[in-house]
């Protein structure tokens, strides 16, 4: 009888097999975690991109429906322009644009309000908010604020009128011909859109 043929695994061989199996399992686990992490990053980026596109579409729709109105003052005082944008150099380090827009959805006219909406976009400290007033004559404290984006490095608007791009807009009786929207985020860098407006539309 061949005793060498009947010899089983030695302790060293078994330990070596266990070590190799453990290394293979660890490698497989690391690969799985890497794939899972990449999938989560991709999903998060996709969600952020969808949110950014929604915000840009919302801003574009508001500008497209913007109106010019003659500001009504009180006691002989001039009114506040209904379409106005100012940058950091004019205020508190942020950026604000205010407008009156038409076609505020009111299904069946069931809500006790008009289809005109006062909207303000406010960018400050890396966050972009949209404020909406329940009525045109509501005080600023009544405006409802919704946070749109929180990873914003820069939010900037430029206004095209008669061959020039302007950094601010204060005209109350006419609209610019187009608005350039620039949003810079840490995730996607700089994104720009140009929105044509209808300067002749008035309320």
Residue 131 and residue 119 in contact, taking contact as beta carbons nearer than 8 Å? yes
> What total of structural domains would you count in the chain?
1
Q: Which domain holds residue 3?
A: 1-203
Work out the widest C-alpha separation in the chain, in whole angstroms: 120
Predicted pLDDT of residue 36:
77
Residue 191: name the closest of 203, 202, 180, 176 by CA: 180
Q: pLDDT higher for 94 or 157?
A: 157
Residue 101 and residue 133 in contact, taking contact as beta carbons nearer than 8 Å? no
Predicted pLDDT of residue 14:
79
Segment 13-23, tens digit of pLDDT:
778 888 888 88
CA–CA distance, 118 with 100 (Å, rounded to integer): 5
Mean pLDDT value of segment 20-35: 82
CA–CA distance, 160 with 99 (Å, rounded to integer): 16
CATH of the domain at 132: 3.10.610.10
């Amino acid at each position: 009888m061949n005793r060498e043929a009947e010899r089983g695994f030695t302790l060293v061989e078994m330990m070596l097999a266990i070590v190799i199996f453990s290394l293979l399992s660890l490698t497989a686990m690391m690969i799985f975690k890497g794939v899972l992490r990449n999938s989560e990053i991709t999903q998060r980026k996709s969600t952020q991109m969808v949110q950014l596109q929604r915000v840009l579409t919302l801003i574009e729709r508001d500008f497209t429906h913007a109106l010019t109105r003659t500001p009504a003052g009180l006691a002989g005082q001039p009114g506040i322009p209904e379409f106005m944008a100012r940058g950091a150099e004019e205020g508190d380090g942020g950026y604000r644009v205010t407008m009156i827009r038409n076609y505020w959805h009111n299904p069946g006219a069931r809500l006790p309000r008009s289809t005109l909406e006062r909207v303000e976009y406010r960018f400050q400290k890396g966050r972009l908010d949209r404020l909406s007033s329940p009525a045109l004559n509501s005080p600023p404290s009544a405006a409802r604020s919704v946070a749109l984006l929180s990873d914003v490095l820069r939010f900037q608007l430029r206004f095209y009128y008669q061959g020039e791009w302007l950094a601010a807009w204060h005209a109350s009786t006419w609209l610019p011909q187009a608005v350039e929207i620039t949003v810079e985020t840490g995730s996607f860098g700089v994104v720009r859109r140009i929105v044509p407006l209808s300067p002749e539309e008035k309320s």
